Structures are given as structure tokens and as C-alpha cells.
Structure 1
Amino acid sequence: MKRLVYLVHRWTGVAVCVLIALWLFSGIVMLFVGYPRLLPAERLGAMPQLSSASCCVPVEAALRHSPAPQAVQQLTLTHIAGRPGYRIKEGDGALRVVDAVTGAPAPPVDEALALRSAQAFVPGFPGAVVGRTHDDRWTHSGLLDAHRPLIQVQMQDPARTLLYVSSTTGEVVMDAPRRQRYWNFVGAWLHWVYMFREGSKDPSWSWLVIGLSAVGTLSALAGALAGIWRWRFRGSYRNGSRTPYREFHMRWHHLAGMVFGPVLLLWIFSGLMSMNPLGMFNPSARPDAKAMQQRMPGQLQPRIETRAALALLEGAGFGARELEWKLLGGQPYLLARDAQGASRLVREEGGAWQVHESFTAQQLEQPARALFDAGVVRSDWLRKHDAYYLRRGEASMYAGAARELPVLRLQFDDPGRTLAYLSPHSGELVLSVDRAQRLGRWLFNFLHSWDLPWMLRPAAARDAALIALSLGSLALALTGVVLGYRRLRLATGRG
């Protein structure tokens, strides 16, 4: 049995030792440089303020251009290429844009419009369209599917930013500065083995990563057992040491494994869990956001014109960059966001339209009960981030997720005992996690990233600890690379 464990560790280690070393090195890079994404603050900060003096035609004029207005899922007033426009998301997920000044459908997106959009995003610098892509190494996100193919615009700003413009709406949907792109070749792109991924949905890539992670986990587990069996916890070997190995690389592989082996094992295992193998962390039931809204934005709009709503926001001292038509419990309202991502609500109360900062708990909880066909067993305000609702740093893969406080937390009595988090500032369901998803959170996020709220607050201390453990684990992996190379030479008769 022990011999079998030694052989498993030896040959699985030969197979994945180089990959594990690359995973560890790229993981250190990912602490500081994330995969390219367009953060909400970047997108909103690049837009001019919406003005009631120059904007806009009534929203009904925009909906006339929808083939099925009653089925419209999302309706947003935004800026595209520096010009206000209504972005409409149809019932089938397709996007269309209506000019908010003229009320006419926006023309098809060509390279000239893409260039104007890019220059409005990075003003003061020239740029050039360098091509179109349906998918490349920086654009695997499924959130970009409705915008494909993407038009690439290379800007001549100091950061040498590569912008991706939607061929559907003309919006900038991704920015990738040169520094971020270069570091990602040895960061997230390498860590996630994206050189083998095609498109936002690639089962072959998923199973490749699952297979490699499983082999790495097996190798680390077998190595941990072998290391413990060979360690003298009492007494010592003839060489006076607790390890029997005298040769430099073998000795330090054993020593590093006894210290850093458990950490490496947990990191590889949690990386495997990140892929949700066999859908083991899929929720038992998904929240019904439409039931919470009761109607769709295309079915019922607030009885206030766009120009009047913008005037109300200006009177309240709020510079709206974007305006979205929303519903909560069948009651229409407008959600405005400024350049920093802060929000205001324009809703009717007492027969008059007013600007509010948030909903009350009662206004949120009553419609939210329709999210699941189950009762609410607990409702409370969360004023500090908990283990599931937390804010990560800009380099994190979750950097774009809004995690504002306070938030209303509801516990449902469904089979998955789902926790739902509702934002009083937007009236939206921000996050829901059932029992399976919470398990996945512990087996992946916690073991892989050490991301409990109290761990994230002293960012420098957490980064230093993760770097130290990564370097120790990297020493373990690199000595394994040397031993694996020697073993292959012996196996092929060259050693």
C-alpha cells in the first residue's frame, strides 16, 4: 500500500509539477493584478452628466421601436459615444439602442462610431480600430455575449489601453491597459489555463482544468502521506536528521513538504472546487426576481417624464450619469447612478415624485417574499459584511460586485435555507446563497483566498502571509520539478 502511494506521488508529480509551480507563481501575481474587466466606477466615471436641459425624449418614444414592448426586461438611459441613448434589453436578451435626443433608432455600429465611443471613454488621446474579435484571451466573460463580436480600439494614452466596443450598442464594454495585459500572461490568464479556452462556454476547457486539478490534488495528498511516513517524529536517522534524505533537492522537497504541503494541498483542492465539478454547488432553487418585481419595465413605467426626473435629481444636488427604469412589488421607480456609483431613487410617495436615498425594510421585504415559494424565517439589517456578503479588492475576480451596506438579509424556509441580500439603495436582489452554494463558498473561496471579512481588512498583512506561503509552496514545487526531471531521465535511460 505504501509503495503504491509512493508511485502515485512520483508519477502524478512528474505529470503536474511544472503546472503547480506556475499556478503558485501566477497566484502571487493575481494578488495585485486582476483579469481585465470594466468596473462600474470606470464605466460611469467616463460618462458626462445627464442634463434635463438637453435630454430627453419620453421613454415611451423609445419603446415604440421595440418589437415586443411588454416583454422588455431592462430599460436604461445612458451615454454612448458621448451622446445620450436608451438601451433596451428585449425579452430574448437582445439589445437595441434608441437615440434619446431624436427618438430615432441608433444606426448600426461601425468603426467610426466605435472610435468615437472609445475617445469619449479615454478623452484627449487618439486611437485606432485594430480589428474585430468574437472572443480572445481577455474577453471570455459570458457578460459580453450580447455584445459580440467586439470591436478592438487601441488608444494612444500613456497606459496604452486596449478597448473593446460592443458591435450591438456601441458602448465600451471592456478596457485592458497594456500593463494589465502583460502581467496577465503570467497572472490570471496563465493561472486559469486560458490558452486552452474557447469562448464563454467551453466544456472541454472546464473538464481539462478539473482533470488537472484532480491529478494535482491526488499528487499532493499522496505526497503528504509519503512525507509523514518518512518523517521521524521520535529520534532521528543515522544522518542525525528527521528526514532520511541527504541529497539537496530530495531533502528540501521533504522539509518543504512537511511545512507547506498542507497549504499546497488545500490550494489545489480548492482550485478544483472552483470549477463546481458535476454541478455539486448548484442551488436547489433559483430566486424569482420577476415575481419580486411583479411586472416588467416595458409593461409599466413611472408616471414622470425623463426630463422632469432629471430635473428633480439636479435639484437634489445629484449628478446622474445613468438612469434605469425599475419595478418593486408592482410599483415603478427610477434608479439613478452618479460617477462614483452612488445611487438615488426617484419614486412616487403621497402623490408626488421625490428623490430618496433608499427603501425602508418594509418596502423591500414584502415584495421580496415572492422570491421563493417558502416563508421568511428571519429578517435583519446587515451593517457589517458577513462570510457570504463581502467586498473584495480591485484585483479580485469579484471586484465588480456591489457590496454596499447596509443590506437587508432574509432567511427563507426553502429546502436550501437560502439567504437573500437586498439593497435598500437600489431595490435589487444583490446576492442569494443556498446551502450548496454556501458549502462551495467555504471549499473554494475561503480555502483558496482566505477572504473572511476580518482577513480582508488588514490587506497588507493578508497579502504578506499569502506571499510567504506561496513562496514556501513554490520551493516545494520547484524541487519537485528537479526530481521529476531526474526521474524522467532515469526512466528513458538517459540518467
Structure 2
Amino acid sequence: MGKMKRLIYLAHRWLGIGACVLMLLWFASGVVMLYVGYPKLTPPERLAALPPLAEEACRAPLDGLEGRPLDDPRATAVLTSAGGGPVYLLREGRGPIRVFSALTGSAVQGPAGAREAVASAQAFAGAPALGYLGTIQEDRWTHGRGLDVHRPLHRVLVDGPEPSTLYVSSATGQVVLDAPESQQRWNYLGAWLHWLYMLRFQSVDPVWSWIVIALSAAGTVLAASGVCVGIWRWRFRGRYKSGSRSPYRAPMMKWHHIGGLLFGAFLSFWIFSGLMSMNPGGVFSARHGAPDMAAYRSAGSADFSGLREPARIVAALRGAGFAPVELAWLSLAGRPYVLAHDAAADSRIVTAEGHGLEVRDRWRPEEIRPAAGRLFKADTRRLSVLSDYDAYYYRRHAEAMNGGAPRGLPALMLQFADPDDTRVYIDLRTGEVNLALARSERAGRWLFYFLHSWDTPALLRAGPLRDAVLIFLSLGGMLVAATGIVIGWRRLRRKGVR
């Protein structure tokens, strides 16, 4: 036992000399991240910048395009706006995106160039471009895997309430990321610093991943060992000769000791949860496969002939008091439908009924259930309709790391009897599978998101009170780290003198 204690003392002392600097940066940047997120373009922001679709500009029918785009069960077809007019975006599985004019049905040849990128950026911002900054494959703000299909990316600096750098897809000509200058500056003190992105050079970077894992593990050992040392050195019965329960007389040592006792448990949990965010060794990954989205959609067996004319669909939506900016052709177990969005990110469903079109705001659960049963070759253990968020399916503010994830209500929740005990959430307003979590992923939700962000729906509703508590605890972490830096520096100086 004596040797173990000695090792813990030594681990805390020598790990703390370097790790306290990292911990101070982590806690300070974490406070910034409460209010300034990593640059992203959320679905509401993207849709808000799109113009309403006009009937006269959507002349080309879906089946009038080159090839049969929806024969592949993984295929998607979207009618949206890019480069100053409506276009179809077609993609089969993980293949490239093909672009067709919605006016003529002809293919748009080649990648979007600088002129198209500038036009798209100006239309998105509603302000003039200040300059074209060229193309990049990837930079500090564009590590997300979702951008891979759009690379290389054009960069355009635009004017507005504040200058912003807009990233435009070379595949579609659409703006895919918005990075205002003030957000970029704050991110150097926030997410970019917090995630050590100065060490990351590509979207999949194993070297960066293992550096963060190793540093987080060292920080966890440092914090946990500090809690042990602090408890061992505190006199719960009696006092030291100084009259204090702490043996330390020097102010920095005393503040470090007392601060560690007060905040050490929170420090340990936060740093440990940061380690869990990296999913070390794939410990939280699903073991037996993801939901079978091809079976859920079965687009290849769907008959879209009743939904082939976009102008007719736009007219039906407008007749229902809905101004669409984007249409997507989808299917549920072979049943075709069009999902429409407006500029406010509201949605409608259009189906072909007889010789007419029906517009409604949601699916009924019994209509979703047959398609949902195809997601896994297993029975359903539980099925319920959510009218409010639960501990796994909930919405975050836009600044949060997962703030752009769609989380619509009402939602159909199904828990399958597959080997992973997977829980699936389907948005009844869109028919989209918004979330699927295996048992291991649900454990990761508690060990990362909850411990790191305190993000249960009840705590999120506390709003400013939750923020105030998190900031107070972060200040406690900064106190412990800052005093540790001073103590470590003084020890190194003494060693140097010797």
C-alpha cells in the first residue's frame, strides 16, 4: 500500500507539471464553447437562404432526367436552388452528386467554378462578395466528414452585418459552411483550442485522435490522483500545528489543495468524459451493424409516376398555404412521397392519391411501422410515440457540437430485439430516421455527453442557471490548474538551481 501511495504521489506531481497547462486551456475554452460553437451550417440556416421554388422554373419532370435516378434503393433526388436557379441534385449511395437543370432537364457539366461560387455566396448572404479566396481541400473549419462529397471547396469572403467566409461546394455550387469572422476569432479560444485542432490536418487523422486520447488519459490520471492525494493530506480529525486541516502553508499549495478537494471530482469526470468523446478503441461503436436504410426506403420498388412533375407539386403546396424552397423524393418501404421544406425549416409531405396530390404535415405511426420493421431483422421490444424529448432524443442549441442535428417531434421510438438492443427514433413529420443508438452508444451518451455537457432535457431547460453552474465549476477547474502551473514552475526552477 505504501508503494502504491508513493506512485500516486509521483504521478500527480510529475504529470501535473505539464498537464495543468492543458487543463487550464481546456476549461477556459470550454466556457467559450458554451456561447460560440464550431462553424457549421445548420439545416434552418441553409433553408432560410433558399428562394421559394417557382412553378414556371420547375418544368423538367423527374423521369425526364438522364438515367433512372431512383432505381437504386439508396438513391436520393432533391430539387433545390444553386447557382441562381432551381436544380436537381441526384446521388446514388455514396457516389458523387450529379446536378441537372430543373428548367431543361439537362446535366450541368463539370464542377462549379469560381463565378458560380461567388454568385451562390452572394445569394446566400444577400450581400456583395468582398473577394474570392480560391479553393481548398480542407482547412481548420472544414474537417467534417459530411463535406467530403463537396470537396474541393471554394472560399468566398462576403460582406454583411459582419464579414464571413462562405465555403461553396464544387460539386453542387451550394454554400455548405458559414464561418463569420467573429466566430472564427472566438473559435481560436474555443473549439479549435479545446479539440487541439492545431494538431489535426485531415478529416480522418489517427495521429491526432491518439494524441488527444493519450493526453486525455494523462489528464484523467492526474485529476483522479489529485483527489486521492488531497483526501490523504486533509485531516478530517484534528489539525496540523498551523491550526489548519491542510498541511500546506504556502498560499499556492493551500489553494491547490483546497481547490482540488472542492472541484477535483468534477475535474476528473470532465476530463474522463473528454476521453470518452474520442470513442477509444471503438468501445462505443455498434457491434452488429447499422439500420438497413435501403430496406427502409426500398426506393427501387417505388412508383414515382404520380409525383414526377415538380411544378404540380409546388402548385399543390402553395394551394395548401406552404411556400416550398426544397423538395426531396423519398419512399417508405416502396411507398413514394415528396418531402417539402420551406424557408422556416417547416415541412410537409406530398403523396399521390388517385389522380390527385395530398398535402399533410405528418405521417401516422401505423404508416411508418411497416417500413421501420425492415430496419433490423429482429422483433420490436418497445414502440411509443414521443410528443416530448427524452434522455436520448433531444435538441441542442445551434452552438453545441450536435446543435445541427434534426430532432423533430412527434417522433416514433422503436427498440429492437437485435443483438445490439438498438433504439431508433423516426421523425413523424418527415419520415426520416433521425437517430439510432445501440446499447453501447447509449452508454457512450452518458459517459460523454452527459458528463461533459449536462445535456439532459431537464437540465437544458434550466438555461442560464445551468450555464452559471458550469461556468462556476470551470472557474474552479481553472483555479486548480493555474495554482498547479505555479507550483510546477517553482519546482522546476528549484531543480534547475540545484
Give yes or no for the alignment of 1:435 onto 2:439: yes
What's the secondary structure of 2:414's corresponding residue? strand
Give yes or no for the alignment of 1:353 onto 2:361: no
The partner residue of 1:402 within 372, 396, 406 is 406
Q: Is the 8 A contact 2:299 2:334 kept in 1?
A: yes
Per-residue CA distance 1:15-34 (angstroms, 9 max, x = gap): 21101100000000000000
What's the secondary structure of 2:497's corresponding residue? coil
Q: How many residues matched?
A: 492
Please tell me the residue identity of whatever aligns with 2:85.
R
202-211 or 116-125, which deviates more? 116-125
The partner residue of 1:192 within 162, 185, 195 is 195
Q: How does 1:121-140 map to 2 (within 5 A)?
A: 121-140=124-143
CA distance in 2, matches of 1:296, 1:157: 45
Please tell me the residue identity of whatever aligns with 2:80.
T
Per-residue CA distance 1:76-106 (angstroms, 9 max, x = gap): 0000022100011133421111111121212
The partner residue of 1:101 within 71, 79, 103 is 103
Q: Which residue of 2 aligns with 1:4?
A: 7
Give yes or no for the alignment of 1:463 onto 2:461: no
Q: Which residue of 1 aligns with 2:497?
A: 494
What's the secondary structure of 1:185's corresponding residue? helix
Identity %: 48
Give yes or no for the alignment of 1:58 onto 2:61: yes
Q: Which residue of 1 aligns with 2:424?
A: 420
Change (3 A) 1:302 1:338: farther
Displacement of 1:58? 0.5
Q: Which residue of 2 aligns with 1:336?
A: 340
Q: How does 1:376-387 map to 2 (within 5 A)?
A: 376-387=380-391
What's the secondary structure of 2:374's corresponding residue? helix
Q: Is the 8 A contact 2:352 2:358 kept in 1?
A: yes
CA distance in 1, matches of 2:383, 2:46: 34
The partner residue of 2:328 within 307, 317, 324 is 324
Q: Which residue of 2 aligns with 1:79?
A: 81
Give yes or no for the alignment of 1:309 onto 2:316: no
Change (3 A) 1:426 1:302: farther
Displacement of 1:125? 2.3
Q: Is the 8 A contact 1:26 1:186 kept in 2?
A: yes
Q: Is the 8 A contact 1:418 1:435 kept in 2?
A: yes
The partner residue of 1:292 within 293, 296, 320 is 296
Q: Is the 8 A contact 2:57 2:102 kept in 1?
A: no
Per-residue CA distance 1:303-357 (angstroms, 9 max, x = gap): 2311111110010010101000001011111000011111100012355321011
Q: Which residue of 1 aligns with 2:41?
A: 38
CA distance in 1, matches of 2:353, 2:491: 76
Give the TM-score normalised by the residue count of structure 2.
0.96
Q: Which residue of 1 aligns with 2:92?
A: 90
Q: Is the 8 A contact 2:286 2:440 kept in 1?
A: yes
Displacement of 1:64? 3.0
Give the TM-score normalised by the residue count of structure 1.
0.97
Q: Which residue of 2 aligns with 1:371?
A: 375
The partner residue of 1:218 within 215, 218, 221 is 221
442-451 or 107-116, which deviates more? 107-116
Change (3 A) 1:70 1:293: closer
Q: Is the 8 A contact 1:27 1:187 kept in 2?
A: yes
Displacement of 1:300? 4.3
127-136 or 381-390, which deviates more? 127-136
Q: CA RMSD in A?
A: 1.5
CA distance in 1, matches of 2:125, 2:21: 40
Please tell me the residue identity of whatever aligns with 2:92.
E
Give yes or no for the alignment of 1:209 onto 2:215: no
Please tell me the residue identity of whatever aligns with 2:491.
R
CA distance in 1, matches of 2:364, 2:62: 27
Give yes or no for the alignment of 1:281 onto 2:284: yes
Give yes or no for the alignment of 1:230 onto 2:226: no
Q: Is the 8 A contact 1:376 1:412 kept in 2?
A: yes
Q: Is the 8 A contact 1:65 1:105 kept in 2?
A: no
Q: How does 1:143-158 map to 2 (within 5 A)?
A: 143-158=146-161
